[in-house]
Structures are given as structure tokens and as C-alpha cells.
Structure 1
């Protein structure tokens, strides 16, 4: 039986964790990216679908390519971050289900049903994107997830060779600079957005 995490862990993952607009000069190693993926891939998804496709932009050239697809304010963030990440979604994820979910013929659920594949790819890649944020925090890294980009341009720049993959969202990654954050925005009490029925 699992035990609740202590307050320090909960703070690091949720309560004191923040979205950063800028980062220190401390680099992020390739080993850290592998460690991050090794946590992300363990997060639960429907039928162990793993539709997320991550592009880790570590070179300045790759960051400049991504920045050119972003709004002005986001472009600067992408250029300056140690790593900028494209979180894509593969609508042909079902091709991997015989390997990833061998208990039953889950692939057949999606063959010939593009609408279901699109919905599942979006839902589960978004879950994986959330796991990416929490895994980064668990490993002592910070993120800056964002919209404010031309998804078609990102797809053309990074997924031209994989037409079944489209961009879900993008994020920066590194060691957050405390000077780059805003005051924390409000979070509502339970009663405001929840019902127990």
C-alpha cells in the first residue's frame, strides 16, 4: 500500500512549484532528458497508449526554428531556455498497441476510426504532457508550458517527415529563474468548481 508524500514533496510538485518565464544558465544534460522520459512513460494512459512525441530542442539552431513559430514574447523564452520542448501527438499511436498493450487486440478498436484516434491522441498526449511537467519538478527541473505558437508551422518544422504527428503544446525546460515569475494567481476553494454527488 502506498503512503502519502510528505509536505516537502507535495510542495515541490504542486504547492510551491511555479511556471517559469526564464531560466538560469545551468544546463540540462541529455541524461536528465532520458531520466525525465523514463518517468513520463510510466504515467497512466488509456490502454497504455503513448501518443505523445517529444522533440527536445537543445541546439540554438533548433530553438531558433521553434522560436520562429511562436508569438514574440514566447519566441524570446524559447530562444533563451536551456531546452525547449515540442509535445506532439501521433494519431497513428494504435500501431504500437500490440507491443504496449498485449493483453487484448486494442489496435482493432482504432483501425478505420480516425475520429476516435484523434480524440484519444489528444487526450492521452495531454496527460503525458502533464506528466512531463510533474516529472520535471520531481527531478528538480522547472518548465514553462505555453500556447502562443503557430501549430501548423511547428508541425512543418519538426514533423514534416511524420504526417501522423501534430503539435499539442510546447514548453521550456531548465532551472527556473525566480526573478521571472509573477505573483501566484488565485486558486479557488473546492466548492467553486466541484460537486460531490
Structure 2
């Protein structure tokens, strides 16, 4: 049985972790991007579906391409960030289940059922998006996940060569500039939104 992690780790992952609207000029290496993936891929998904498909925009050209499809305020964040990530979801994830979930014929559960695949891809890629944020924080990096973009255009620009892959959300990534965060918004007490039955 695992022991609880210490307060410093809990602070870094949750209590002190913030969404950043801007970053310092400190670069982020490809090794760091790979390290994020190596952590986030270990998070659980239903039947090990792993439907997330990531595009790491590190060049100015790629960030400018992405920024064209974002709202004005988000476009500026994208252009200035060291890295931007397009986190997509593969509706055809089931094609990989014979390799990723060899314990059962899981592919057959999804064959011919597009509605089920879409719901599963969205749910599980969203889980993986949360793992992405926590993995980045665990490695000393910060994120700025966002909506506020034209998903259809992002799909055409970044996933045209991958039929069945659609954008879930995008995020900036780097070393957060503390001057760009807002005062923390309220978090409710347990009793407000929870029931123990």
C-alpha cells in the first residue's frame, strides 16, 4: 500500500498549483515534453483506451497557426507561451485496444457504435488532460488550459491527416509568470456539493 505524499507535493499538485496566463522566457525542452507524456500515459482510462492525441506546438509557426483559431485574448497567450498543446481525442481509439487491452476482445465492444466511441473518447481524453496538467506540475512546469477557440478549424489544421481525431482542449505550457495569475477563485466546502450516502 502506498503512503500519502507529503504536504509540499500536495501543494505543488493541487493547493498552490494555478492556471497561468503568461510565462517566463525560460525554455521547455523536448525531453520535458516526453517526460510529461511518460507520466500522463500511466493514469487510468477505461479499458486502457488512451484516446488522447497530443500536438506539441513549439515553433513560432505552429503557435501562430494555432493562435489564428483562438479568441483574441487566448491568441496572445498562445503566441507568447514557450509551448502550446493541442489535446485531441481519437474516436477510433478502439482500433488500438487489441494491443493496449489484450485481456479481452475490447475492440468488439465499440465496433459499429460511433456514439459509444465518441462518449468514451471525450471522457477518457478529458481524464488524460487532467493527468497532463498534474504531470506538468509534478515536473515543475505550469499550464494554461483553455477553451475559446474554433475546434473545427483546429481539427483541420492539426488533425487533417488523422481521421477520427478531434480537438478536446488546448493548453499553454511553461514556467508560469506569477504576475499573470488572478486571485484564486473560491473553492466550496465539502458539504456544498458532496453527499455521503
Shorter-chain TM range is over 0.9
Q: CA deviation at 1:123?
A: 0.2
Unmatched tracts of structure 1, length 5 or more = none
Q: CA deviation at 1:162?
A: 1.2
Figure out how many residues of one structure are paired with residues of the other and give that number. 197
Alignment of 1:136-175 (within 5 A): 136-175=136-175
Give the secondary-structure state (helix, strand or coil) at the position aligned to 1:172: strand
Give the secondary-structure state (helix, strand or coil) at the position aligned to 1:64: helix
Structure 1 residues 130-188: Cα deviation after superposition (integer angstroms, max 9, x where no partner):
00000000000000000000000100100111120000000000000000000000000
State the superposition RMSD in angstroms.
Answer: 0.4
Unmatched tracts of structure 2, length 5 or more = none
Match of 1:22?
Answer: 22
Structure 1 residues 91-137: Cα deviation after superposition (integer angstroms, max 9, x where no partner):
00000000000001000000000000000000000000000000000
CA–CA distance in structure 2, aligned partners of residues 182 and 163 of structure 1? 38
2:4 matched to 1:4? yes
Q: Give TM-score scaled by structure 2 length.
A: 0.99
CA–CA distance in structure 2, aligned partners of residues 33 and 119 of structure 1? 27
Q: Give TM-score scaled by structure 1 length.
A: 0.99
Runs (4+) off by over 6 Å: none
CA–CA distance in structure 2, aligned partners of residues 174 and 10 of structure 1? 20
CA–CA distance in structure 1, aligned partners of residues 17 and 162 of structure 2? 34
